[in-house]
């Protein structure tokens, strides 16, 4: 829609654009003025959701997203069915038990009976039970259904409560405001405060139940973790006991430890053996210096003693060898005593033998320890080969014990935290302040709502007008006609009352019943079209339209009148056989005469085809052409026929007839039937020099119209001025 078209539309519909907004503003004013006065009371809760202190670092750690989500959950919980229902029960209980109830419904106008006597006691008992248990009143019994009927009458049902309450967070603070509005000031304050108290109580009730359930679960988890820790610890201890030697020092190497011990034992054995050999050399020197005779026997005893000692080193546990060694030492000692010359020498020799016995004993013990150590080394050496898998198993067990211990500690912390919260007993949600009883009602804002009604009415009216305009497929005005057809109308004719007049009056210019500006528009359009026709070498002109009722007959007659003003002789041939409106309107008495029956077909009875042109012209002028009330306009009338022009002219030489009449008249006007309904105008195009299409703004541009319009444009050389009829004066 073009801006110019929009402006014209608004000017044309200015009555609706003014009246409808005024009506809507008046309705808004009346409705707002007649509404009950509303009183608002407000209470406030502090939630504690924005208080998060790290006692170690003394820093606040607040997640804005989590805080916003917590506030949303808290507000939704305040509007939950359980909280609102409990509040409704308390309000109904108050009105039923108080001498000054907030509301007094008229039970005589309702189908529900007023609660009295035992019924009242039952209702109040059921309400107290539901309030105390934080439960709902059941609808399965008569009392429950009756209670819900009472809530509906008292307007305490959930939808009414939520409709009158506004629960919101105050900016980005820690507080939530509860605003309740009603027609009773005390009711507003009572509900605002009761809503806050009930939610705090319900929140504490929920928290206690959750903590009790959590404690039971956490207690079982703690026991399970304790049992798992004990099992893993016991398994680890058994493992360490079994591999005590290998695992006592996880940082040492068992093989290296054994090798070190063996080297120390071997060094000790060599040291004792070295001392023993030195001692024996000393004894041998004393033996060489002595003067005893049987020296050879002592040497033999010493050799045997050395052999048995070597054998004993190989068999340290052989008791027989040990006994033999003891006897040999005693025998050797006796022999040496016998051959010692002095008592002092005997004593020295005796000391040497004692020392030799001690060293021998140490030597034997050291050999035994060395052998046992080597045997143990061989045994443990095979065990050490599995040390890697043993350590891996130990590490796994230690990891399981550490994990079980950590899980136990975490479970214990949660359990202790839950116990601490349960001991505290209340949540962080507290009442900051209670709402007061409002003294003054809220403003009705009548002026604002009236202005809003005016604006809404105007916008809705404008929207409806635009929507109707966009959905309207009619041509409506020259701008829309040009956009839909790509044709520029040569003239536009406003909607006139002349369309309903007798065409005989139009033919003589009797326009006195119309407004002067409308007649000026008509005459201007006729002159413009006349100028275009006069400027072209045409004689025979056909007037046609897309639909019946577009104003062809009227404009054809008006055009003939306009031609008569410049003394042009015009012959009108009524070829609209489907609707011979021209013939009827332009007859003197409105009836078709007998001689005019079937129009030009009657001439065939007189054999006019065999006549000369002069004779034929005389016959046509005498029996076919009729005069009209305008001395320059003539008409060839016809009767209504259900036949097309080709069917009518099949017995006649219509082209010859046109040629005979053309010299007698300046212009011949032919009216064709509507293009969308009949094919008459299609057939008449071969006989005419120009086609004047007439459109009406009431026509809708449909697919059928597009087809008819394409037919007109196919005869581009014959298309004359385009006339748009029935245009609103504002669009002309």
pLDDT at 43: 92
> Cβ distance 17 to 441 under 8 Å?
no
Residue 552: which pLDDT band, with cuts at 50, 70 and 90?
confident
Task: Flag whether pLDDT at 324 surpasses 90.
Answer: no
pLDDT at 222: 66
pTM for the model: 0.46
Residue 99: which pLDDT band, with cuts at 50, 70 and 90?
confident
Please give the share of the chain, as a percent, with pLDDT higher than 70.
68
pLDDT at 211: 59
Classify domain 478-731 at the CATH class level. Answer: alpha beta
Residue 501's closest CA among 463, 557, 461? 557
Give the pLDDT mean for 189-202: 88
Residue 215: which pLDDT band, with cuts at 50, 70 and 90?
low
Residue 541: which pLDDT band, with cuts at 50, 70 and 90?
very high
Residue 479: which pLDDT band, with cuts at 50, 70 and 90?
confident
| 732/730 Cα distance (integer angstroms) | 6
pLDDT at 125: 92
Whether the CA torsion 514, 692, 552, 484 is positive or negative: it is negative
User: DSSP assignment of 324-382, as one string?
Assistant: HHHHHHHHHHHHHHHT--SHHHHHHHHHHHHHHHHHHHHHHHHHHHHHHHHHHHHHHHH
pLDDT at 415: 58
Give the pLDDT mean for 481-493: 72
pLDDT at 87: 92
> Cβ distance 236 to 398 under 8 Å?
yes
Most confident of 57-61, 360-364, 572-576, 696-700: 572-576
pLDDT at 178: 92
Give burial (CB, 10 Å; 0-12/13-18/19+) of 46. middle
pLDDT at 574: 84
pLDDT at 569: 92
Domain boundaries, the chain: 3-32+444-471, 478-731
Give the pLDDT mean for 103-123: 83
Whether the CA torsion 380, 386, 390, 392 is positive or negative: it is positive
Give the pLDDT mean for 604-633: 66
Task: Flag whether pLDDT at 54 surpasses 50.
Answer: no
DSSP 719: B
Residue 191's closest CA among 217, 165, 216, 169? 165
pLDDT at 9: 72
pLDDT at 590: 41
Task: Flag whether pLDDT at 667 surpasses 90.
Answer: yes
Most confident of 424-428, 594-598, 626-630: 626-630
Task: Flag whether pLDDT at 312 surpasses 70.
Answer: no
pLDDT at 627: 84
Mean pLDDT of the chain: 75
Contacts of 173 by beta carbon, 8 Å cutoff, 6+ apart: 50
Residue 540: which pLDDT band, with cuts at 50, 70 and 90?
very high
Most confident of 18-27, 60-69, 211-220, 653-662: 18-27
Please give the share of the chain, as a percent, with pLDDT higher than 90.
7
Task: Flag whether pLDDT at 238 surpasses 80.
Answer: no
Give the pLDDT mean for 610-638: 72
User: DSSP assignment of 672-709, as one string?
Assistant: PPPTTT-SHHHHHGGG-SEEEEEEETT-B--HHHHHHH
Structure tokens that stand for 485 in this block: 């057809």
Task: Flag whether pLDDT at 58 surpasses 60.
Answer: no
pLDDT at 497: 62
Contacts of 101 by beta carbon, 8 Å cutoff, 6+ apart: 94, 95
Burial string for 499-523 (b: 16+ CB within 10 Å, else e) reads bebebbbbbeeebeebeeebbebbb
Task: Flag whether pLDDT at 699 surpasses 80.
Answer: no
Give the pLDDT mean for 427-453: 81
| 238/236 Cα distance (integer angstroms) | 5
Residue 714: which pLDDT band, with cuts at 50, 70 and 90?
confident
Give the pLDDT mean for 534-553: 86
pLDDT at 177: 92
| 330/301 Cα distance (integer angstroms) | 10
Task: Flag whether pLDDT at 341 surpasses 50.
Answer: no
């Amino acid at each position: 829609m073009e801006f110019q078209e929009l402006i014209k539309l608004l000017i044309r519909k200015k009555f609706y654009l003014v009246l409808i907004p005024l009506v809507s503003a008046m309705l808004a004013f009346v409705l707002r003025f007649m509404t009950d006065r509303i009183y608002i009371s407000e209470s406030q809760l502090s939630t504690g959701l924005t208080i998060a202190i790290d006692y170690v670092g003394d820093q606040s750690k607040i997640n804005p997203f989590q805080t916003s989500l917590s506030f949303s959950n808290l507000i939704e919980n305040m509007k939950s069915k359980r909280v609102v229902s409990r509040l409704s029960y308390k309000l109904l209980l108050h009105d039923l038990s108080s001498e000054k109830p907030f509301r007094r419904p008229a039970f005589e106008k309702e189908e529900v009976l007023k609660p009295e006597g035992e019924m009242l006691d039952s209702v109040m008992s059921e309400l107290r039970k539901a309030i105390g248990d934080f439960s709902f009143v059941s609808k399965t019994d008569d009392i429950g259904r009756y209670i819900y009927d009472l809530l509906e009458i008292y307007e305490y049902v959930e939808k009414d409560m939520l409709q009158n309450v506004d629960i919101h967070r105050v900016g980005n603070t820690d507080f939530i405001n509860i605003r309740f509005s009603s027609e009773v000031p005390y009711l507003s304050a009572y509900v605002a405060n009761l809503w806050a108290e009930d939610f705090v109580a319900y929140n504490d009730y929920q928290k206690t139940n959750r903590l009790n359930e959590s404690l039971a679960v956490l207690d079982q988890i703690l026991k399970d973790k304790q049992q798992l820790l004990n099992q893993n610890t016991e398994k680890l201890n058994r493992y360490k006991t079994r591999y005590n030697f290998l695992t006592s020092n996880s940082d040492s190497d068992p093989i290296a430890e054994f090798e070190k011990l063996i080297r120390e034992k071997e060094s000790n054995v060599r040291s004792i053996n070295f001392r023993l050999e030195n001692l024996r050399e000393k004894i041998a020197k004393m033996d060489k210096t002595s003067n005893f005779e049987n020296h050879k026997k002592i040497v033999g005893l010493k050799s045997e003693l050395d052999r048995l000692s070597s054998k004993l080193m190989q068999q340290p546990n052989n008791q027989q060898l040990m006994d033999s060694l003891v006897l040999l030492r005693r025998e050797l000692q006796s022999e040496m005593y016998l051959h010692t010359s002095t008592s002092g020498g005997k004593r020295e020799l005796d000391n040497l033998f004692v020392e030799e016995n001690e060293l021998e004993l140490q030597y034997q013990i050291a050999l035994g320890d060395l052998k046992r150590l080597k045997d143990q080394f061989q045994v443990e050496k095979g065990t050490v080969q599995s040390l890697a898998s043993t350590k891996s198993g130990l590490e796994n067990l230690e990891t399981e014990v550490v994990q079980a211990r950590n899980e136990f500690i975490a479970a214990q912390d949660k359990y202790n935290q839950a116990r601490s919260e349960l001991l505290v007993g209340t949540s962080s949600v507290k009442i900051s302040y209670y709402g007061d009883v409002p003294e003054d009602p809220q403003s009705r804002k009548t002026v604002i709502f009236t202005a809003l009604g005016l604006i809404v009415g105007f916008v809705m009216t404008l929207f409806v007008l635009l929507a109707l305009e966009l959905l309207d497929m009619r041509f409506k005005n020259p701008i829309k006609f040009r956009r839909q057809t790509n044709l520029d109308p040569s003239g536009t004719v406003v909607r006139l009352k002349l369309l309903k007049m007798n065409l005989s009056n139009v033919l003589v210019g009797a326009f006195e019943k119309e407004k002067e500006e409308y007649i000026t528009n008509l005459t201007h359009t006729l002159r413009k079209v006349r100028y275009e026709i006069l400027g072209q070498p045409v004689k025979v002109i056909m007037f046609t339209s897309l639909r019946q009722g577009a104003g062809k007959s009227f404009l054809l007659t008006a055009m003939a009148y306009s031609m008569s003003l410049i003394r042009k002789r015009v012959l009108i041939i009524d070829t609209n056989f489907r609707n011979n409106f021209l013939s009827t309107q332009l007859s003197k008495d409105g009836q078709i005469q007998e001689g005019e029956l079937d129009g030009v077909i009657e001439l065939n009875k007189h054999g006019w085809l065999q006549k000369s042109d002069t004779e034929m012209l005389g016959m046509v002028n005498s029996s076919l052409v009729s005069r009209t009330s305008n001395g320059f306009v003539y008409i060839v009338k016809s009767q209504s026929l259900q036949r097309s022009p080709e069917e009518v002219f099949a017995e006649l030489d219509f082209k010859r007839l046109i040629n005979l009449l053309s010299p007698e008249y300046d212009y011949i006007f032919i009216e064709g039937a509507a293009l969308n309904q009949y094919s008459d105008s299609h057939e008449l195009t071969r006989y005419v020099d120009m086609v004047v299409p007439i459109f009406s703004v009431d026509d809708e541009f449909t697919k059928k119209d597009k087809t008819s319009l394409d037919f007109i444009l196919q005869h581009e050389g014959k298309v004359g001025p385009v006339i748009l009829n029935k245009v609103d004066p504002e669009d002309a």
